[in-house]
A = this chain, B = another copy of it.
Amino acid sequence: MQALRTALAQINPTVGDLTANSELIVDWTSRAAQEGAQVVVFPEMALTGYPVEDLALRPEFAHASRDALRDLADALDRAGCGDVVAVVGYLDRDAVGSRNSAAVLFRGDVVSRYDKHALPTYRVFDELRYFAPGTRLSITEVNDVRLGIVVCEDIWKPGGPVPAYAAAGVDVLLCLNASPFERGKAEVRLSVVQRRAAEAGVPVVYANLVGGQDELVFDGGSMVVAADGAILGRAPAFTEHLLCVDLDVSDARRPDGGPPPGWSIDRNTVPDLLVRGWDRLPRSVAEPSDDLASTWAALVTGLRDYVHKNGFASVALGLSGGIDSAVVAAIAVDALGAESVYGVAMPSQYSSDHSLADANDLASRTGLHFGIESIVDMVRSVTDQLGLSGVAEENVQARCRGIVLMALSNSAGHLILATGNKSELAVGYSTIYGDAVGGFAPIKDVPKSMVWELARWRNDAAVGRGEVPPIPEASIDKPPSAELRPDQLDTDSLPEYDRLDAILFRYVDCDQGEDDIVAAGFDPVDVADIVAKVDAAEHKRRQYPIGTKVTSKAFGRDRRMPITDGRRRV
C-alpha cells in the first residue's frame, strides 16, 4: 500500500482580487505543508474567484491571472512550501479562447495544466459564453501515485474526462469545484461523487469553494470519497477549512493506458517526495446540517461576504415590526454583529402601535442600533401637493421610507438591506423605489412560509444555546400586513401564504404550466391570478437588489424571463 496525504483547502477567495487570493493560497499551502501533506487541492478558479462573469472575456484580466499563477508558483517556493504539489484553479487564455483551468504547481514551476471539459450553461451558469473546452488529460505522478485532474461539471454527467482518465490509468481523481449552495444539493453532490468514484474505480478528492459572491453562496463541504462510496473525509460547510486525508492506494497498479479517442495526455512525474514521519490521521467526517440550519448559514454567509467584499462597515434596514424585517435583522446580526446593524422604524399614520413595540423588542433582543424616524410629515408634504390618494398615496409612504434609508446610507455609508421575500417578489407585492430600495436583499429567495420556519428555527436554536431568541414572538405570530392603509392585510389581495407558495413553487421553481398546476388540485382562479401576477411583475424584479440564492430556482441570473411577454394580455 502506498499512502498519500492529501489536503483539501476549502477557501473563500474574492472574485477579481488576484493579489489577495494568491496570498490566501500561499497561506493555506503552508498550512498543508505543516500538516505533512504531499498534495494540496484548491477549488475551481480559486486564484480568480468564481464566477468571474465577463471578466473572463477581458484579455487583460486573463493575462493577469496567468501572470499571477506563475508568480504564485514562485511565492509558494519562497514561502518554503514548494515541495507540496499544489493544484490550483485559475483563468487561462490561449489562441482558442479563455479557459477554466487547473494547474499543478511544484518547486516554483507550473508542472501541468488541465482545461475544464464540461462547461455548464444552464441555470446560474454561462460557461460556454466564456470558456473553450479542454480535451487534454493531466496526469501527475507523485510517489508512484498517478493523480488525474477534473473540474466541477466534468463529473456531473457520465462520459467526458472521467472514463478517459480511467482508461489512461490513474490512482486518484482530484476534482476542483465551485458548486453553489441550494437547498438539498449537498446530498445530490455526494451521490454524484460516489457514482464517479465507482465508475473510475479510484477515490475522488472533491474540493469546493466556500463563501459568497453576489447572489451565489458556496457551501464548501469538501470531501474525499473512496471507489466503494465510503466517505474518507468531509469538511464542515460554510467555513474555510483544511481537510487532510491519508489516501491508501493499491499496490496492484493498473498499467498506464493510452489516451482514448479525442483526448491527449499531459503526463508528468514529480521527484519522489519525502514522506515525513507521520501517524495515520483519524478520519474527519463533518456531519451535514439540516435544511433550515444550512439555509440560515447560507443567508448569513451570503450577506456577510457581500458586505465585507464590497467594503461596507455596516448595514441599515427599515424595521416594520413584521416578520420579514425581523428575520433580515437577525441574519444581519449573525453575519456582522449587532454593532454593525442599524434598524430604523419609520411609522406612518397607518402604522399600528404594535409595529413600533415589536421593532423595539427586536432591537433590545439583538442589541442592534435602533432609531425612529416618522414619515408622517414627509408623506403629507408630498400627498398634499400632488393631491394623491389610493395606491399612489400608499406608494408614497413606501418611497418616503426609501428616501430616509438612502439618506442614512449617503450620510453614514451603510449598505441598505431590502427585506422582501421570494413570495412578494414573485407576485410583485412590493413598491419599486420604496421597500424595494437597497443594495442587497438577504431573503429575496426565501418563500414567505419558509421565512416563518426560519424565524422559529433561529429562535429555537437560541433557546438551545441558552440565549435570548432574537425574533419577537409577536412578529412571528401576527398576520402579515403592509400597513399602507387602515386595517390592511396581505390576505386582502393574496391567498394564504402556504397555498401561494405551493403554487409559486410549481410555476416558478418547477416551470409547470397553469394546466399542470390546476391538474395537481389547485383552484383554477387562484392559479390564473397568481400566474398573471408573476408574469406582470418581471419589470419590478429586474430593478430589485440582488440577494442570496437558496432555492432551486432564484429570481435573477437563474430565471431569465422577458419583460415584454405577450403571454400576459396587456
Which residues of chain A have a CB within 8 Å of any CB of chain B? 14-18, 20-21, 49, 51-55, 57-61, 121-122, 126, 128-129, 212-214, 305-306, 309-311, 373, 377-378, 381-382, 385-386, 388, 390-392, 395-396, 399-400, 402-404, 406-407, 410-411, 432-433, 437, 439, 511-516, 539, 542-546, 559-568, 570
Tell me which residues across on chain B come within 8 A of A388, comparing CB atoms.
407, 410-411
B565 x A546 contact (CB < 8 A):
no
Tell me which residues across on chain B come within 8 A of A402, comparing CB atoms.
399, 433
B403 x A213 contact (CB < 8 A):
no
A564 x B214 contact (CB < 8 A):
yes
Tell me which residues across on chain B come within 8 A of A309, comparing CB atoms.
564, 566, 570
16 additional contacts (CB under 8 A) given A15-B564, A16-B565, A543-B545: A17-B566, A49-B566, A53-B561, A53-B562, A54-B560, A126-B129, A309-B570, A311-B570, A378-B381, A382-B404, A388-B411, A391-B410, A392-B407, A400-B403, A406-B433, A543-B544
Within the complex, what minimum Cβ distance (angstroms) separates A314 from chain B?
14
How long is the Cα–Cα vector from A439 to B386 in the complex, in angstroms? 21
A16 x B566 contact (CB < 8 A):
yes
Pick the residue among B55, B381, B563 that contacts A561 (CB under 8 A).
B55
3 pairs of A and B residues whose beta carbons are closest in the complex: A17-B566, A60-B513, A311-B570
B54 x A567 contact (CB < 8 A):
no
Tell me which residues across on chain B come within 8 A of A385, comparing CB atoms.
373, 377-378
Q: How many monomers of this protein are in the complex?
A: 2
Pick the residue among B129, B310, B512 that contacts A122 (CB under 8 A).
B129
A406 x B411 contact (CB < 8 A):
no
A399 x B392 contact (CB < 8 A):
no
How long is the Cα–Cα vector from A561 to B55 in the complex, in angstroms? 7
Within the complex, what minimum Cβ distance (angstroms) separates A451 from chain B?
23
Tell me which residues across on chain B come within 8 A of A410, comparing CB atoms.
388, 390-392, 395
23 residue pairs of the A-B complex, CB under 8 angstroms, read A15-B566, A16-B562, A16-B568, A17-B567, A53-B561, A53-B562, A61-B567, A121-B126, A212-B564, A213-B564, A214-B564, A310-B564, A310-B570, A377-B381, A378-B378, A382-B400, A382-B403, A392-B411, A395-B406, A395-B410, A399-B406, A403-B403, A406-B433
Within the complex, what minimum Cβ distance (angstroms) separates A381 from chain B?
4
Within the complex, what minimum Cβ distance (angstroms) separates A299 from chain B?
16
Tell me which residues across on chain B come within 8 A of A59, comparing CB atoms.
511, 513
B392 x A373 contact (CB < 8 A):
no
A15 x B395 contact (CB < 8 A):
no
B392 x A403 contact (CB < 8 A):
no
Tell me which residues across on chain B come within 8 A of A386, comparing CB atoms.
373, 404, 407
How long is the Cα–Cα vector from A137 to B265 in the complex, in angstroms? 36
A60 x B570 contact (CB < 8 A):
no
A511 x B403 contact (CB < 8 A):
no
Tell me which residues across on chain B come within 8 A of A55, comparing CB atoms.
561-562, 565, 567
Within the complex, what minimum Cβ distance (angstroms) separates A482 from chain B?
15
Tell me which residues across on chain B come within 8 A of A57, comparing CB atoms.
511
A15 x B126 contact (CB < 8 A):
no
Most interface-central of A311, A433, A542, A546 (chain B CB within 10 A): A433
Tell me which residues across on chain B come within 8 A of A15, comparing CB atoms.
562, 564-566
How long is the Cα–Cα vector from A516 to B54 in the complex, in angstroms? 18
Tell me which residues across on chain B come within 8 A of A49, comparing CB atoms.
566
Tell me which residues across on chain B come within 8 A of A17, comparing CB atoms.
566-567
Q: Which residue of B lies closest to A515 (CB)?
A: B60
How long is the Cα–Cα vector from A568 to B16 in the complex, in angstroms? 8
Tell me which residues across on chain B come within 8 A of A212, comparing CB atoms.
564
Tell me which residues across on chain B come within 8 A of A60, comparing CB atoms.
511-516
Within the complex, what minimum Cβ distance (angstroms) separates A423 from chain B?
20
B14 x A566 contact (CB < 8 A):
yes
Q: Which residue of B lies closest to A565 (CB)?
A: B16
How long is the Cα–Cα vector from A410 to B386 in the complex, in angstroms? 12
Q: Which residue of B lies closest to A308 (CB)?
A: B570
Tell me which residues across on chain B come within 8 A of A213, comparing CB atoms.
562, 564
A52 x B16 contact (CB < 8 A):
no
Within the complex, what minimum Cβ distance (angstroms) separates A247 from chain B?
34
Tell me which residues across on chain B come within 8 A of A562, comparing CB atoms.
15-16, 51-53, 55, 213-214
How long is the Cα–Cα vector from A392 to B413 in the complex, in angstroms? 11
Within the complex, what minimum Cβ distance (angstroms) separates A395 from chain B?
6
Tell me which residues across on chain B come within 8 A of A51, comparing CB atoms.
562
How long is the Cα–Cα vector from A40 to B69 in the complex, in angstroms? 56
How long is the Cα–Cα vector from A564 to B51 in the complex, in angstroms? 10
Tell me which residues across on chain B come within 8 A of A539, comparing CB atoms.
439
Tell me which residues across on chain B come within 8 A of A310, comparing CB atoms.
563-564, 570
How long is the Cα–Cα vector from A128 to B122 in the complex, in angstroms? 8
How long is the Cα–Cα vector from A16 to B261 in the complex, in angstroms? 44
Within the complex, what minimum Cβ distance (angstroms) separates A76 from chain B?
21
How long is the Cα–Cα vector from A214 to B564 in the complex, in angstroms? 6
Q: Which residue of B lies closest to A516 (CB)?
A: B60
Tell me which residues across on chain B come within 8 A of A54, comparing CB atoms.
559-561
Pick the residue among B392, B407, B514, B564 that contacts A14 (CB under 8 A).
B564
Q: Which residue of B lies closest to A384 (CB)?
A: B377
Tell me which residues across on chain B come within 8 A of A381, comparing CB atoms.
377-378, 381
Tell me which residues across on chain B come within 8 A of A404, comparing CB atoms.
382, 386
Q: Which residue of B lies closest to A14 (CB)?
A: B566
B560 x A53 contact (CB < 8 A):
yes
